[in-house]
């Protein structure tokens, strides 16, 4: 019986490490996307999409580490808040930018392609 519990514990550890590493990869990808992408709307996509998934995966890994406790409940609450508010905030920023008249970059490398009539 104790061997089974040990294996279960080890499995939970591995699952939590995998979730946290995947979450960190998503968070870093979002940060690099925000730095590298050419246009406000593409940056918003990188930040919004990867932040939500990365945060949720890190929270999941921490919950698996914490087990059944009040700590775990608080972590789940934070995860729920982030899951609800992050897409809402991203949508609000995008809506505000669009209403303010910020144009999306439609062509690839717009300043050059405008010279040759937008064919490129």
Partner 1 sequence: MPIVDFFVAGALAIAMAIMLARLFIGPTLYDRVLALNSFGTKTVLFLVVFALMVNRADAIDIAILYALLNFISTIAILKFFRYRSLEVALTRMERGEIAKKQAEEEQKT
Q: Using CB under 8 A, list all residues that contact partner 1.
A: 13, 16-17, 20-21, 23-24, 27-28, 30-32, 34-35, 40, 43-44, 47, 51, 55, 58-59, 62, 65-66, 71, 74-75, 77-78, 81-82, 85-86, 88-90, 92-93, 96-97, 99-100, 102
Minimum CB separation from partner 1 for residue 97, in Å? 4
DSSP 35-81: HH-SSHHHHHHHHHHHHHHHHHHHHHHHHHHH-SSHHHHHHHHHHHH
Residues 37, 46, 55, CA angle at the centre, nearest 5°?
145
Nearer CB in complex with partner 1: 74/107? 74
Residues 29/31/33/36 CA torsion (nearest 10 deg):
-130
Give the shortest CB-117-to-partner 1 separation in angstroms.
25
Residue in 119, 4, 14 with CA at minimum distance from that of residue 65: 14
Residue 111 Cβ vs partner 1, minimum distance, rounded to whole Å: 13
Please, which residue, 97 or 110, has the CB nearer to partner 1? 97
Helix (H) / strand (E) element for 87: namely helix 70-99
Cβ proximity to partner 1, 1 vs 68, nearer residue: 68
Q: In terms of CB distance, is 101 or 117 closer to partner 1?
A: 101
């Amino acid at each position: 019986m104790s061997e089974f519990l040990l294996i279960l514990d080890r499995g939970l550890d591995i699952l939590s490490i995998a979730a946290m590493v995947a979450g960190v990869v998503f968070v870093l990808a979002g940060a690099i996307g925000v730095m590298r992408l050419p246009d406000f709307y593409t940056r918003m996509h990188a930040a919004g999409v990867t932040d939500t998934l990365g945060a949720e995966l890190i929270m999941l890994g921490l919950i698996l580490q914490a087990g059944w406790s009040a700590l775990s409940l608080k972590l789940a609450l934070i995860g729920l808040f982030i899951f609800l508010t992050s897409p809402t905030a991203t949508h609000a920023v995008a809506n505000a930018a669009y209403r303010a008249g910020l144009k999306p970059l439609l062509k690839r490398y717009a300043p050059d392609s405008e010279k040759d009539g937008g064919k490129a």
